[in-house]
Structure 1
Amino acid sequence: MSTSQPPPPTLSERYSGVPKRLASIAQEAKNRLWSNKTLPESVPRRRQVRLPPDTTQDAFDTAIATLRRDIGAENVVLNDRPLVDGWYLEHPNTHDAFHVVDQEDLVCSAVAYPGSTSEVQSVVKWANECAIPIYPISMGRNVGYGGSAPRVPGSVVIDLGKRMHKIINIDVENASCVVEPGVSYFALYEEIQKRNLPLWIDTPDLGGGSVLGNAIDRGVGYTPMGDHFANHCGMEVVLPNGELLRTGMGALPGKDGSDNPTWQSFQPSYGPYSDGIFSQSNFGIVTSMGFWLMHETGHQSYMITFPRDEDFPAIVEAIRPLAQKRILGNIPQLRHVAQELNVTGLPKSHWYSGSSPIPRDIIRQHAARMPCGDCSWVFYGTQYGDPTGIKSQLDIIKSEFAKIKGSKFFLPKDLPVDHYIHSRALVCSGVPVLREIDWLNWKPNAAHLFFSPITPTRAEDAQVVHEINVRLHKKYGFDLFPTLCVAGREMHYIANIIYDRASEDEKRSAAGLMRELIAASANEGYGEYRTHILFADQVAGTYKWNNNALMRFNETIKDALDPNGILAPGRNGIWPRKYRGKGWEILGSEVEKAVGGGTISPSTVTSKL
């Protein structure tokens, strides 16, 4: 493939683009990825439009004509064009760009672009009248978990970002903001910088995703305000019947019809705290959301390396009291040294010519020539406050980690300017970047799945999950890239499964690995906090205490709010009565059997998928 690609869009050109300060970096990242690509941009479609279930062509045509009348013909686009997987900043909203099954499975029938909350209400009412499932997305950059793909093929994707990308308010005194779904971390950061406000945002590793969408899916960042859903305050939600709801203090009308002054100040209100049911669910469409921001402060990032793989339990034990006592300033990361190789953006073939997982001794040889040196684990942290406070914190941290023989402490100034620590330092001070995308170059046509269980911040628990990952990654022939995002009492153990989406064998193996990881971890009592849409039923099924009481509760809410079952059926394993028990669930090895087969047959999962 050509290494010279058209430039990605900038924020001045498109709401979903990259800031001009990162334009050249984005261009280089895109060129690198394309240089390792063998797939064509697209292949001919086998079918033109994937109809919604139980819908005839005539009924669909009539429904689409009605929807175009309601929100504008230019704002409803049929999915009858070639499917293009694109790139991070130029991703599809029609299917999963990192398709695990056939590219033409998990596709939408059309995409609707509402421009306001009232138009979202119109779309929802239309879906109820026409009995067509809809699947809302914010910006569709939930890559690694399914992207923009609807769980029920033929659904109409509701792309909220394209026309709903306003920063509604930034309240400097209250250190808060209100945003629509199409506001990216890039956009919010750049607006704060433009106004020269003394505030920070909290960003995940990549800055192109939706602030609102990430929080709704309970994503994380790395400053002290890294729990994004915990730091939201107030929602506006369109319910499945089209009614509009404000949660928290927003339920209290303000003076003379204005918003009341406490909506972004206090998360609950009076009575049950309902916000949580709209995260990782299909109970409503969040059209605007408030967030708390962080006051700018002094900060110091650092890196600590540990020499031996078997140091892992001791590292976790050292982390726990530091995290629980809040001596660690942020949500730090513990990574295996293998990630020092792949975050360079160089392909696996640069480091190792074999097709098997890269041997540990080869990793060691390469690491010895890198700034991190011959080590096994790398800890990235950041402290906040004034210089005296930061020094005091770092003295304690260095003292505790020094108890692990051979550990080494580095500041950013100790490392080359192109080292990954400088990217982490930016992220941990609220500056969204693009560096993390470079590890996708590991494989040709690279795609990835995230396996994301939760483990207590305790060595015996973390070791169990880690050993499951080591064993199963070896069994299925994948390199293991673990990242542990550390909070006080728990860690997100995130394994990044990188596969070649041009290889049906690799896709099948990735699906098999994912399925076994979920099952093996659940058998030991560890569950995922977030997963790809194809594995949602399996993960939801692991939370089965007391005869699946949690799912029965979720289904009760779903049926009450969405009796027609139109809103994102199957998202996070929650099926409305219309679909429930009718073969839509994906369990066992059905995903692997579907790879390369186009529509999954009734004998495996369902005639619908």
Structure 2
Amino acid sequence: MSFSDEAQSDVPLLSEKHSGIPDFLLEKARKAKIGVFETRTKPKASRNRLPVIPHGVEEHVFFDALGELGTQLGAENVERNDKPLKDGWYEVDPNTHDLMAVVDEEELVPSAMVYPGSTEEVQQVVLWANKYHIPIFPISMGRNLGYGGAAPRVRGSVLVDLGRRMNKILDINSQDYTCLLEPGVSFFALHEAVKAKGYDHLWIDVPDVGGGSVIGNTVDRGVGYTPYGDHWACHSGLEVVLPTGEVIRTGMGALPGNNTWQTFPYGFGPYSDGIFSQSNFGIVTKMGMTLMPNPGGYESFMYTFQKEDDLDQMIEIIRPLRIGNILENVAQLRHVTQSLAVSGQPRTKFYEGDGTIPEDIVHKVAATLPAGDHCWAYYGMSYGPPHIRRYKLDIIDAEFKKVPGARRIDPATLPEGDYFWARDRIAAGIPDIHELRWVNWMPNGAHIAFSPVSPIRGADAKKLYELAKRRHNEFGIDLFPAFCVGLREMHLIVELVYDRDDPKRRKAVLDCLRNLIEDAAACGYGEYRTHLVLMDQVAGTYNWNDGALLKFHEKLKDALDPNGIMAPGRCGIWPKQYRNRGWEMTKTSGENTQGDGVAPTP
């Protein structure tokens, strides 16, 4: 398919493809796609570095091994990565490379993609990888955009794409408020399945964009925006293929015939689920998940605050309200620059100069928006019947209006397509795709995140914001900060948007991030999640007691994965065959993704 054909093609529906869009979002997705291709200038590139072969494996051995795997899984389920790299877009994202590459797009690419259709076939792939000492990299659906997408950390790994053929909803229990899923089930698909069954008393929790895998998002500790927003805390029970091919079920699932696997996460003995979250210790093939009861009503609200210096006071007000569950879902306090960018318009519509967009221009444009000029915007939701909502909303209003100039925005004044309504749907468990419109800020738009965690304190918010602002000004990158407040902690999520076809902008973004990570760690703040190329640096900041935690992870890795085949390097955990061979990417090492090979097989 040519570039123009790709731009003209229709959006795949969920009824046609496991990674498709539900009917109710079709027109919105079509418009979003137009926006993506209107700003795309990146040419379709030919491949310059073929063939891609796993490190430490001879070419003829690898091709023979692929043929053997094709015999086991079916030739149609084993595919070499030797064709031009098509970027696609969010709803047709590639599994051949990182759609939002921050290094050269041919660096982090798999040698092949395989598509198992069952846990037993995942076992076959793992045993095959051990036989030939071929690294594999499992994905659910590859939509971890901004964190590496479907790309493997080690070039030449074989991508194990679970989503294409393992996408069944195995159970929705309307009495226990639980479900059991395979990796290819998206938030779109789960929402539509609950709705199709007529289970109006059940809600799901969704992240900002609903096309990703429920399992993939959960094991990477992603979040959503109802009171069930901590997805990892809401899972119950895993089925996992270990790096040596054994299959285990965690929690109550280890008891044959047990019927509480999806309702009680712990079982008996050590709680092992945690080692399969943000790790490379196994492949999750099934997961139980709790669902939220319909609260009997909901009401979204939005406040704007006028001054940058209001941040400190706002966070101090939010903390007791959030801890006391008066603010019931993840609190979002977003900067005005995001109010501009989420319109989906390119930056050049507002400003064509160098450096960061001037504040006076930002506020001039913001004054034309439906919510008016502001510096910070708070998006929230109150749940329950009307009298319960009113009690909580009155408390919130009284507290928020202690900030001079604070305004509650009347939803009736906001047009149907306003970003407020996307946040309204997401906080009600209805998936959407509005969020990524701000990626159109730059041509060939891509994004990567700085995501430190701190206490819910005004002083911490101010310190992190000023740190981010200083580095963004230094590297000439527009600042898009949002404070997302949980029950006891606060995440600052800063999305750095860049032109992925511009090597200078990619370098500026990476240099900015490496400095931000170092700066934050020096102040005691660590990332909760990061991109593939930043994982070594972030893991290295968790270095209390001479790096005791990473040493523990390496012991687990060596015990569970003696041949080092499972996602080497993910979350900074390297098998012994790769250690001390230049694979780690840090601020001082430079952006060399390849290292110096692997230790010879004994």
TM-score range, shorter chain: over 0.9
Decide whether aligned partners of structure 1 residues 607 and 560 sit closer, same or farther in structure 2, where only a CA change above 3 A counts: closer
2:133 to 110, 128, 131: 131
Asked whether 1:269 is paired with 2:271, we answer no
User: Any conservation in 2 of the 1:534–1:591 contact (CA below 8 Å)?
Assistant: no
State the shift of 1:502 in Å.
1.1
Asked whether 1:314 is paired with 2:313, we answer yes
Q: Aligned ranges for residues 523-538 of structure 1 at < 5 Å?
A: 523-538=522-537
User: Any conservation in 2 of the 1:106–1:151 contact (CA below 8 Å)?
Assistant: yes
Decide whether aligned partners of structure 1 residues 218 and 548 sit closer, same or farther in structure 2, where only a CA change above 3 A counts: same
State the shift of 1:589 in Å.
4.6
- After superposition, the C-alpha distances for 1:264-288 in whole angstroms (9 at most, x for unaligned) are 1111011111111100000000001
More divergent stretch after superposition (235-244 vs 574-583): 574-583
State the shift of 1:232 in Å.
0.2
Q: Which amino acid aligns with 2:268?
A: Y
1:43 to 42, 45, 49: 45
State the shift of 1:49 in Å.
2.3
Provide the rounded CA distance (Å) in 1 between the counterparts of 2:333 and 2:456.
12
Aligned counterpart, 1:560 = 559
More divergent stretch after superposition (505-514 vs 414-423): 414-423
Provide the rounded CA distance (Å) in 1 between the counterparts of 2:575 and 2:108.
18
State the shift of 1:591 in Å.
4.7
Q: Which amino acid aligns with 1:511?
A: L
More divergent stretch after superposition (45-54 vs 169-178): 45-54
Aligned counterpart, 2:501 = 502
Asked whether 1:201 is paired with 2:214, we answer no
User: Any conservation in 2 of the 1:223–1:430 contact (CA below 8 Å)?
Assistant: yes
- After superposition, the C-alpha distances for 1:224-267 in whole angstroms (9 at most, x for unaligned) are 0000000000000000110000001101111xxxxx21111111
State the SS of the aligned residue for 1:547.
Answer: helix
Q: Which amino acid aligns with 1:23?
A: L
State the SS of the aligned residue for 2:264.
Answer: coil
Aligned counterpart, 2:87 = 85
Aligned counterpart, 2:175 = 173
Provide the rounded CA distance (Å) in 2 between the counterparts of 1:200 and 1:374.
34
Aligned counterpart, 1:229 = 232
User: Any conservation in 2 of the 1:301–1:411 contact (CA below 8 Å)?
Assistant: no
Q: Aligned ranges for residues 205-604 of structure 1 at < 5 Å?
A: 205-254=208-257, 260-297=258-295, 298-591=297-590
Identity %: 52
Aligned counterpart, 1:104 = 106
Provide the rounded CA distance (Å) in 2 between the counterparts of 1:140 and 1:469.
28
**TM-score normalized by the length of structure 2:** 0.97
Q: Which amino acid aligns with 1:15?
A: H
Aligned residues: 593
State the shift of 1:353 in Å.
2.1
User: Any conservation in 1 of the 2:56–2:597 contact (CA below 8 Å)?
Assistant: no
Aligned counterpart, 2:71 = 69
User: Any conservation in 2 of the 1:451–1:514 contact (CA below 8 Å)?
Assistant: yes
Decide whether aligned partners of structure 1 residues 170 and 18 sit closer, same or farther in structure 2, where only a CA change above 3 A counts: same
Aligned counterpart, 1:9 = 12
Provide the rounded CA distance (Å) in 1 between the counterparts of 2:597 and 2:56.
11
More divergent stretch after superposition (485-494 vs 335-344): 485-494
Provide the rounded CA distance (Å) in 2 between the counterparts of 1:279 and 1:501.
29
- After superposition, the C-alpha distances for 1:475-512 in whole angstroms (9 at most, x for unaligned) are 00000001111112111111000000111100010110
Structure 1: state its 5+ residue gaps: 255-259
- After superposition, the C-alpha distances for 1:120-148 in whole angstroms (9 at most, x for unaligned) are 00000000001000000000000000001
User: Any conservation in 2 of the 1:48–1:81 contact (CA below 8 Å)?
Assistant: no
Q: Which amino acid aligns with 1:487?
A: G
State the shift of 1:410 in Å.
2.0
- After superposition, the C-alpha distances for 1:511-535 in whole angstroms (9 at most, x for unaligned) are 1011001000001100000000001
User: Any conservation in 1 of the 2:370–2:413 contact (CA below 8 Å)?
Assistant: no
Provide the rounded CA distance (Å) in 1 between the counterparts of 2:541 and 2:122.
34
State the shift of 1:590 in Å.
4.3
- After superposition, the C-alpha distances for 1:126-172 in whole angstroms (9 at most, x for unaligned) are 00001000000000000000001101100000000000000000000
User: Any conservation in 2 of the 1:141–1:209 contact (CA below 8 Å)?
Assistant: yes
Structure 2: state its 5+ residue gaps: none
Provide the rounded CA distance (Å) in 2 between the counterparts of 1:412 and 1:194.
29
Q: Which amino acid aligns with 1:373?
A: G
State the shift of 1:21 in Å.
1.2
Aligned counterpart, 1:257 = none
Provide the rounded CA distance (Å) in 1 between the counterparts of 2:21 and 2:429.
16
State the shift of 1:413 in Å.
2.4
1:182 to 165, 181, 184: 184
Provide the rounded CA distance (Å) in 2 between the counterparts of 1:320 and 1:383.
16
Q: Which amino acid aligns with 2:526?
A: G
**TM-score normalized by the length of structure 1:** 0.96
Provide the rounded CA distance (Å) in 2 between the counterparts of 1:588 and 1:364.
35
Provide the rounded CA distance (Å) in 1 between the counterparts of 2:35 and 2:263.
44
Provide the rounded CA distance (Å) in 2 between the counterparts of 1:470 and 1:390.
37
Provide the rounded CA distance (Å) in 2 between the counterparts of 1:51 and 1:484.
42
Provide the rounded CA distance (Å) in 1 between the counterparts of 2:330 and 2:8.
36
User: Any conservation in 2 of the 1:49–1:78 contact (CA below 8 Å)?
Assistant: no
- After superposition, the C-alpha distances for 1:15-73 in whole angstroms (9 at most, x for unaligned) are 00001111111111111110111112x21111322100011111101111111111111
